[in-house]
Amino acid sequence: MGQKFSVVAVVAAGAAAAAHVASKAGGSPGSSPKKAEETEKPTAAEPEAAVAGPARKIMILFGPPGAGKGTHAPKIEAKLQTPQLSTGDMLRAAVAAGTAVGKQAKAAMDAGALVTDDIVCGIIADRIKEPDCTSGFILDGFPRTVEQAKKLDEVLAKNGEAVAKVVELRVPDAVLEERICGRWVHKASGRSYHVKFNPPKSLPKGKKAKPKYMLDDLTKEPLMQRSDDTAEALVSRLKAYHAQTVPVLQHYGAGKAVGVDANRGLDAVWADIDAATEWD
Ligand code: ADP
Ligand code: ADP
């Protein structure tokens, strides 16, 4: 289509994304949230200065909802010293902040459908220009369509860059419902827990997962359940994943994609992700 990313999407979602990153990083100087009206920027089709210095480590963490992307991303972040950019987290921040992007995205997200390519490409094109992406970034939940992948490639190619690795977490659909329906998350950081498979320290053994027992291990703040983490919405999300997202793997090809069997215990899965994210 060759469309320009919309300024509204870039600005409003970018502010939400910055706020999210600031909250994850505890508000580091380079990532303080800006008001939408203060951050009017060129569209993604007119990028700012090219990225200088050594090649950025650019990778995609790929897999269906519930595969373990959010669970393992913090360990990859710590290892590569690059931020995880989750379009899902950014969109949820935009919905919570009531931005124009959030209003546009909410209905699709609740129904388990994809948000438009324009919106998410705008968010990412803006976000990867932030200072914390100087060494690279880990894309989580993006690109989710071949169109998004092509747009991403275009934006990166303008700086002589490209995606280096796609790490695919493989989990059979049948396993995902229990994972999704038992998921609790720490909203500010995106840290992911599970009532059975990865309970927070605050849940006493043998107790039911009531909100008072479900607290983030690090901050002790309350965990929450996502409104789209239902068996019904998962059906649509998996349909979209197989029809629209899996073709992205083919787009990047066997030379870049590495498959990991993510239907195993957390430590075994991490050992393979660790090996797949070695960087020269
Ligand atoms: P994604 O970000 O890919 O949607 P998450 O990382 O949030 O998925 O994981 C979904 C749920 O499954 C979470 O509740 C998480 O604790 C749990 N989980 C993640 N990996 C595993 C695993 N290997 N075995 C069992 N449960 C897991
Ligand atoms: P999960 O990996 O558990 O499906 P995410 O947090 O990545 O969930 O995404 C939640 C919702 O946000 C998706 O169901 C979709 O509506 C929207 N979304 C996130 N990323 C994208 C994207 N790249 N393209 C379109 N919609 C997206």
- pLDDT score at 86: 94
What's the pLDDT score for residue 273? Answer: 98
CA distance 3 to 225: 36
Of residues 221, 244, 260, the one with CA closest to residue 24: 221
Residue closest via CA to ligand 2's atom 2 equals 65
pTM of the model: 0.83
Enumerate the β-bridge partners of residue 238: none
What is the rounded (10 degree) CA torsion for 212, 213, 217, 218? 20
Among candidate residues 127, 144, 151, 179, the one labeled active-site is: 144
Instruction: For helices 117-127 and 146-157, give the axis angle rounded to 10 degrees.
Output: 30
Cα 179 to ligand 1 centroid, rounded to whole Å: 6
Q: Which candidate in 57, 69, 92, 127 is catalytic?
A: 69
Domain ranges of the chain: 1-30, 57-182+225-276
Q: How far is the CA of 92 from the centre of ligand 2 (A)?
A: 9
Q: What is the fold of 57-182+225-276?
A: Rossmann fold (3.40.50)
Provide DSSP, 228-277: T-SHHHHHHHHHHIIIIITHHHHHH-TTTEEEEE-SS-HHHHHHHHHHHT
Mutate to test the pocket of ligand 2, among 84, 85, 237, 242 (most ligand atoms within 8 A of CB): 237
Ligand that lies nearest to the alpha carbon of residue 268, given by its number in the listed order? 1
pLDDT per residue as tens, the chain (280 positions) = 333 333 333 333 333 343 333 333 333 323 333 333 333 344 444 444 445 567 999 999 999 999 999 999 999 999 999 999 999 999 999 999 999 999 999 999 988 889 999 999 999 999 999 999 999 999 999 999 999 999 999 999 999 999 999 999 999 999 999 999 999 999 888 889 999 999 999 999 999 999 999 999 999 999 999 988 999 999 999 999 999 999 999 999 999 999 999 999 999 999 999 999 999 8
